[in-house]
Structure 1
Amino acid sequence: MSGYRDLLRTPGVGRIIAAQLTARFPNGMTSLAILLHIEHVTGSYGSAGLVLAATSIGQAISGPVTSRWMGRWGMRRVLTVTLLICAASIAAIALLTLPVPLYMVLGLIGGLSTPPVQSAVRTIYPKMVTARQLTPLFSLDASLQEIIWIIAPVVVTFVGTQVGTVPALLLIVAILLGGGAWFILSPEVGRVRIPRSRRGIGRVLGKPPVLLATIVGFLLIGACSAVEAGVVATFDHGGLEAGIVLALFSVGSLAGGLSFGHIPIGRWAMARRLLIVTVGLSLTIVSLDVWWLSGTLILAGIGIAPALAVIFAMTSASVKFSETAEAYGWVGTGQLIGAAAGSATAGFLIDGIGATGAYVAAAAFAAVGLLVAVVFVRGFPDLRHRDASPLPDTEPISTLSGPSPS
C-alpha cells in the first residue's frame, strides 16, 4: 500500500482521480434512473427498455468517435460540448412529457454525447507519473472505480423511490455538470494535447493488443452484467440482499485491485486473473444461498479490477500517444456492448431455467474470456521489463508546463 501512498503524493494525481470519478459517477446512475422514470411515466418496463437500448446504442457509437475528436479539437472543447448536450438531454427526459419514440431520441442523443472522460483521463495518466508508476496507477484507477458501482445505484434507487424519479434524474444532471466542470477545469486537461491521428478511424483495432483488450473487456463486463441480472432475479428484484451481494462483488474487485496492482504484467497476467473470475463465477451455480453467493462473488470479484488494469495497461503500451484516446474509446464500446449482451443473455436464461441461468451465462462469458487469453497469449504484451507508456509519435505529442515525468 505504500506504493499507492507515494503515487497519490505525486502532484495532481489525487485531484485528477477524484475529479474523474466524480465526473463518471452518473455512469452508475443514469440507466437505472431512466428505467425508473420511464416505467413511472409510461407504466411499461418494455418502453423503459427501448429508451435504455437507444441510450446504450448512442454510448457505443460515441466512444471511439468523441475520443478521436479530442485529438482534432482538444480535450476541453470536446468534453465541454458533450457535457452540455448530455446534461440537456437528461434534463429533457426528466422534465418533458413525451411519447416513447421521442424519449428514445433523447436517450440516443444523451448516449451519443456521453463525455469521454474515461478516455481522456487514461490518456493523461502517462503524462503525470513516472513510467514505473503507470501500471500501479491503472490498477488504482480500476479499483477505485468500483466505488461508483457500489454507491451510485444505491443513491439513485433511494432518491428515485423515496423522493421521485424527476429529482433522481436532476440529481444526475447536477453531478454531471459539477463533476464534469471539475475535471474539465483540472490543469492537466488543459496541459496535455493529443495530436491528431493520421490514420483512419478503426485502424487502431488492427493492433492485436487493442483488439484483444476490446474482446476481453466485452466478455468480462458481459459476465459482470449477467451476475447483476442474476442477483436481482435471485433476491426478488432488488431487495436488501441484492444490494448487499452486489456491493460485496464490488468490494472483492476493489480489494483485488489494491492487492495485485504492484504485480508486473506478463503475457499470462490476463489468463491468471480471468481464471480467478471464472472459478468464482462457476461456483455460484452450486447454490443460490445468500452466504454462498456472497463468498463466491467476492472470490470472482478479486480478479475483476486486476483484469481491467491489464486491459488499460496493454492498450496504453501498444499504441502511439495520438491513438490512445481512440483505442480506449473502442475498449469502452466493447464493454458497453458486453454489458448489453450479458444482460440480454442472462434475461433469456432466467426466463427459461430460472435465476441459475444468469450465473451459467456469467461463468460462460468469463470462461470464453479465459480461453481467449490462453489461446492468444502471444498477442498480450509482456510488460514485466518495460512500462505501460504509449509508443512515441514521430512529432511532438504534448505540451506540459514543465518536463514530462514519464
Structure 2
Amino acid sequence: MSSYISLLRTPGVGRIIAAQLTARFPGGMLSLAYLLHIERVHESYGAAGLVLAATSIGQAIAGPLTSRWMGVWGMRRVLVLTLIVCATSIFSIALIPMSVPVYMLVGFLGGLSTPPIQPAVRTIYPKMVNSRQLTPLFSLDASAQEIIWVAGPVITTFVATQVSTQSAIILAGAFLIGGGIWFIASPEVGRVRIPRSKRSFGTVLKRPPVLLATITGFLLVGACAAVEAGVVAVFGHGGPEAGIVLAVFALGSLVGGLSLGHLPIGPWALARRMLVVFVGMALAMAWLDFWWLSIALLVAGIGIAPALAVIFAIVSSSVKFSDTAEAYGWVGTGQLIGAAIGSAIAGFLIDANGAIGGFWAAAAFALLGFVVPTLLRRWHPDLRGREVGPIPDTAPVPVQPS
C-alpha cells in the first residue's frame, strides 16, 4: 500500500483521478437509465435495446477517432466540444419525447461525442509520475473505476424508481458536465500537449502489443458482460441478490488491483491474470447459488483490475507519445464491442439453456482471454527492469504553462 500512498501524495494525482472518475461516472448509469426510460415511454424493451445499440456503436466509432483529434486540435478543445454535444444528447433523451428512430439517432450522436477522457488521462499519467510509479498508477486507476460499476447502477435504480427515469438521466448528465469541467480545468490537461501523429489513422494497431491489448480487453470485458447477464438471469430483478453478487465481483477487482498492482510485468503477466479470471468464472458454473456465486466471482474479480493495469502498461510502453491517445481509443473500442457481443451471446444462450448459459459464455470468453496472451506472449513486452512509459517522439513535446 505504500506505493499507492506515495502516488496519492504526488501533486495532482489524487485530483486528476477523482475528476476523471466523476466525468466517467455516467458510464455506469446511462445504459440502465436509458433502458428504464425508453421502455417506460414506448413500453418495449426491444425499442430500448435498439437505442442502447445505437449509442454503443457511436461510442465504438468515437474511441480512436476523437482520441486522435486531441493530437490535432489539443485536449481541451476536443474535450469541450464533445462534452457540449454529448450533454445535449443526454438531456434531449431525458426531456423530449421522440420516436424510436429519433431516439436512436440522438443516442448515436451522444455515443459518437462521448468525451475521450479515459484516453486523455492515460496519456497524461506518464507525464505526472516517474516510470517506476506508472504501473501502480495504472493499477490504482483500474481499481478505482470499479466504483463506477458498483455505485452507478445502484444510484440509477434508486433515482429512477423513487423519483423518475428522467431524473436518473439528468443526474448522469450532471455528473458528466461537473466532472468534465473539473477534468478540463485541471492544470495537467493544459500542461500536456499531444504531438500530431505522423502516421495514418489505425496504423497504431500494427503494433503487436496494442493489438494484443485490444483483443484481450475485448475478451475480458465480454466475459464480464456475460457474467452480468447470467447473474441477472439467476436472481431476476425482484430482489437485491443480483446487485450484491455483482458488487462482490467488483470488490474482488478492487482488492486484486490494490494487492497485485505493484508486481513486475513480465511476458506471462497478462496470461496469469486472465487465468485467475477464467478459474473464477469456471467455478461459477458449478452451482448457481448466492453464496457460491459470490465466492467464485470474488475469485474471478481478483484478476480483472490487474489484467487491465497490464493492458494499459504494455500499450503505454509500446507506442510513441503522439500515438498513445489513439492506441487507448482502440483499446476502449475493443472493450465496448466485447461488452455488446458478450451480452448478446449470453442472452441467446440464456434463452436457450437458462441462466447457466450466461456463465458458459463468460467462461468461454475468459478461456480465450487466457489462451490469446499465452499463444501471443512474444507480442507481450517484458517490462521487468524497464521504464514503463511511452516512447519519446523525435521532436520535443511542447509543454504549455498552466
Structures share a fold, TM > 0.5?
yes
The answer to whether 1:182 aligns with 2:182 is yes
The answer to whether 1:168 aligns with 2:174 is no
Structure 1 residues 233-274: Cα deviation after superposition (integer angstroms, max 9, x where no partner): 110136300000000000000000000011000000001101
The corresponding residue for 2:83 is 83
Paired with 1:311 and 1:363, the residues of 2 have a C-alpha distance of: 20
Paired with 1:75 and 1:300, the residues of 2 have a C-alpha distance of: 36
The corresponding residue for 1:113 is 113
Paired with 1:167 and 1:124, the residues of 2 have a C-alpha distance of: 33
The corresponding residue for 2:312 is 312
The one-letter code of the counterpart of 1:328 is: Y
The answer to whether 1:385 aligns with 2:389 is no
> Which secondary structure does the structure 2 equivalent of 1:92 belong to?
helix
The corresponding residue for 1:192 is 192
> Which secondary structure does the structure 1 equivalent of 2:317 belong to?
helix
Preserved contact between residue 232 and residue 238 of structure 1 (Cα < 8 Å): no
The one-letter code of the counterpart of 2:211 is: L
The corresponding residue for 1:285 is 285
Paired with 1:11 and 1:93, the residues of 2 have a C-alpha distance of: 39
Structure 1 residues 312-332: Cα deviation after superposition (integer angstroms, max 9, x where no partner): 000000000000000000000
Preserved contact between residue 190 and residue 401 of structure 2 (Cα < 8 Å): no
Residues 335-354 of structure 1: matches in 2 within 5 Å? 335-354=335-354
Structure 1 residues 260-299: Cα deviation after superposition (integer angstroms, max 9, x where no partner): 0110000000011011000000011100000000000000
The one-letter code of the counterpart of 1:241 is: E
The answer to whether 1:206 aligns with 2:206 is yes
CA positional deviation for 1:50? 0.3
CA positional deviation for 1:401? 4.7
Paired with 1:362 and 1:237, the residues of 2 have a C-alpha distance of: 20
Unaligned runs of 5+ in 2: none
Paired with 2:235 and 2:222, the residues of 1 have a C-alpha distance of: 20
CA positional deviation for 1:400? 5.2
TM norm structure 1: 0.98
Residues 1-80 of structure 1: matches in 2 within 5 Å? 1-80=1-80
The corresponding residue for 1:369 is 369
Paired with 1:196 and 1:154, the residues of 2 have a C-alpha distance of: 41
Equivalent pairs: percent with the same residue? Answer: 70
The one-letter code of the counterpart of 1:330 is: W
CA RMSD of aligned residues (A): 0.9
The corresponding residue for 1:274 is 274
Matched residues, number: 402
Preserved contact between residue 210 and residue 314 of structure 1 (Cα < 8 Å): yes
Structure 1 residues 142-166: Cα deviation after superposition (integer angstroms, max 9, x where no partner): 0100011110110011101111001
The answer to whether 1:295 aligns with 2:295 is yes
The one-letter code of the counterpart of 1:173 is: G
CA positional deviation for 1:344? 0.2
Preserved contact between residue 135 and residue 387 of structure 1 (Cα < 8 Å): no
The one-letter code of the counterpart of 1:41 is: V
Preserved contact between residue 267 and residue 378 of structure 1 (Cα < 8 Å): yes
Preserved contact between residue 234 and residue 355 of structure 1 (Cα < 8 Å): yes
CA positional deviation for 1:363? 0.4
> Which secondary structure does the structure 2 equivalent of 1:286 belong to?
coil
Paired with 1:299 and 1:341, the residues of 2 have a C-alpha distance of: 23
The one-letter code of the counterpart of 2:26 is: P
Paired with 2:398 and 2:154, the residues of 1 have a C-alpha distance of: 40
The answer to whether 1:357 aligns with 2:346 is no
> Which secondary structure does the structure 1 equivalent of 2:285 belong to?
helix
Paired with 2:135 and 2:271, the residues of 1 have a C-alpha distance of: 17
Paired with 1:48 and 1:331, the residues of 2 have a C-alpha distance of: 26
The ranges of structure 1 where at least 4 consecutive aligned residues each deviate by more than 2 angstroms after the TM superposition are: none
Preserved contact between residue 69 and residue 78 of structure 1 (Cα < 8 Å): yes
The corresponding residue for 1:251 is 251
The one-letter code of the counterpart of 2:299 is: L
Greater Cα offset, 251-260 or 167-176 = 167-176
TM norm structure 2: 0.99
CA positional deviation for 1:397? 1.7
The one-letter code of the counterpart of 2:96 is: L
The one-letter code of the counterpart of 1:392 is: P
Preserved contact between residue 284 and residue 359 of structure 2 (Cα < 8 Å): yes
The one-letter code of the counterpart of 2:294 is: S
Paired with 2:136 and 2:175, the residues of 1 have a C-alpha distance of: 28
The corresponding residue for 2:232 is 232
The corresponding residue for 1:334 is 334
